[in-house]
Amino acid sequence: MKKTITEARTGVADPAGRQWPGLVFLISLLAAMPAFGQSRERPAVVKVMPVRTAMVAPSRAMPGEIQTLYRVNLKAESSGTLDHVADLGTVVETGETVAVIVDPAHALRLRELQQDVASAQARVAFLQGEARRLASMHKKNLASAREVEQNRSDLAQANSQRQAAEARLRQLQQSLKRLVLRAPFAGYVVEHLAQPGEYVRSGDPVVRLVSRRQRIAVNLPWRAAPYVKKGQQWNVILTDGSGGEQKNRHKARVMAMVPTVANASRQLTVFLDWAGKETETTLDGQPVTVFYPQAEAREFVLVPRDALVLRQGKSHVFRVRDHRAEKIVVIPGVGDGDWIAIRGPAGQANPLKPGDEVVVRGNERLRDGQGVRILEASAENRQ
């Protein structure tokens, strides 16, 4: 008995003895399409970064603020009329003029003392010449020893008077220098405490100056004191509206902790070094968020924050192996700047090891098992 076409191609006999060549061909074509589509799928272009381990302490956010390191009121060191004061907002370098005081009496006194010094110098010059003449005459017995001694006494007295006049002149010159107020450090003029034309006395405040060098001040609960160490690097987020959190995230070194707890708030003050990070957009009093340690540091497995993908309340990352993306479910933990600690689901070991490469760009639409092409940093920069 001959086999039908259906039996020959499928191995199944058709009860009615009918042949279905078109149907069998269509089924075969549809069955081959997924494999054909997979073979033609273009690999996703991604950027990867290695997993690493580091010592990280659990941290908590606390509001702080940027402060200028120095704030001073420059005071008049001599009396007079305020002639000039630098405009508000003026940037001054160390030693630059901030304000000028004038006093006509100082100018008159200066001329007087200059004349006193000139007169004393002339008296000394005359007596020195007289001493040479008397010495020559004394050798010829034309001048007595008394005259020579008298000349020596007069010359010594004239020298003393000259030195006293010169000292008074130097004192006045120093006083004149104090009529010019100079910046003790690089900073900004932020307030006028006296106006041009006012008469100021020695000790009167003239202008308020703040330094360009800045620091961060934050008040912490007193219980945090055991975990605060000088030299620690803490994460700081600026609040300036110029960009996202990642753009404004910085590291700041702990400068000092004031070992005193305020009676009312039960808080202690910690200062962080901000030197070298000052810009025109970081202002005195600008709010920041500081992350301080709440416990001793422990070793964690860290991945870049950009590697985390959040879906329906769960987190996962994509590990790249053999040019394919492998979906790894993780539980995020403590953060450390642009990095975050991860662990495996409850009861499971950490699925990632230091050196594993995880996707940080291109993971939004990536699928488990999808082929990938790693984008090198140089190629990314060219794009």
CATH number at residue 158: 1.10.287
Show which of 260, 281, 296 is a domain's final residue: 296
Same domain, 94 and 205: yes
101: phi then psi, degrees, rounded to nearest 5 = -110, 135
Confidence of residue 116 (pLDDT cuts 50, 70, 90): confident
Q: What is the pLDDT of residue 254?
A: 94
CATH number at residue 309: 2.40.420.20
Q: What is the pLDDT of residue 27?
A: 53
Which amino acid is located at 335 in the chain? G
- Has residue 15 been placed in a domain? no
Same domain, 94 and 190: yes
Q: What is the pLDDT of residue 36?
A: 45
Cβ-proximal residues to 147 (8 Å cutoff; 6+ apart), any chain: 134, 138
Q: Are 206 and 254 in contact (CB under 8 A)?
A: no
Confidence of residue 96 (pLDDT cuts 50, 70, 90): very high
Pairing of strands 324-336, 339-343: antiparallel
Same domain, 81 and 197: yes
Same domain, 119 and 174: yes
Same domain, 251 and 372: no
Distance CA 148, CA 137 (A): 10
Same domain, 241 and 340: no
Model's pTM, two decimal places?
0.59
Instruction: Reply yes or no on whether the pLDDT at 182 is more than 50.
Output: yes
Instruction: Reply yes or no on whether the pLDDT at 142 is more than 90.
Output: no
SS3 label, residue 367 = coil
The DSSP 8-state label assigned to residue 258 in this structure reads -
Tokens for 316, please give them. Answer: 């996962």
Mean pLDDT of 190-195: 94
Show which of 275, 296, 317 is a domain's final residue: 296
Instruction: Reply yes or no on whether the pLDDT at 179 is more than 70.
Output: yes
Angstrom distances, CA of residue 155 to CA of 3, 134, 162: 149, 13, 10
Angstrom distances, CA of residue 322 to CA of 303, 306, 309, 317, 319: 20, 22, 21, 16, 10
CATH number at residue 191: 2.40.50.100
- Has residue 240 been placed in a domain? yes
Distance of CA 55 to the CA centre of its chain: 23
Q: What is the pLDDT of residue 8?
A: 47
- Has residue 13 been placed in a domain? no
**Residues pairing with 303 in the sheet:** 340
Q: What is the pLDDT of residue 379?
A: 39
Distance CA 302, CA 308 (A): 11
- Has residue 11 been placed in a domain? no
Distance CA 293, CA 301 (A): 18
Same domain, 123 and 223: no
Same domain, 86 and 186: yes
SS3 label, residue 136 = helix
Segments forming the whole domain that contains residue 171:
104-178
Q: What is the pLDDT of residue 244?
A: 47
How many domains does the structure of the chain reveal? 4
SS3 label, residue 315 = strand
Same domain, 220 and 191: no
Same domain, 183 and 97: yes
Report the chain's C-alpha Rg in angstroms.
43
- Has residue 260 been placed in a domain? yes
The model's pLDDT over 223-272, given as tens digits with 9 standing for 90+, comes to 999 999 999 999 898 875 554 444 578 889 999 998 888 767 789 999 99
Tokens for 301, please give them. Answer: 């497995």
Mean pLDDT of 369-382: 68
Q: What is the pLDDT of residue 356?
A: 92
- Has residue 52 been placed in a domain? yes
**Residues pairing with 293 in the sheet:** 59
**Residues pairing with 192 in the sheet:** 207
Show which of 296, 327, 355 is a domain's final residue: 296
Same domain, 114 and 134: yes
Average pLDDT of every residue of the chain: 83
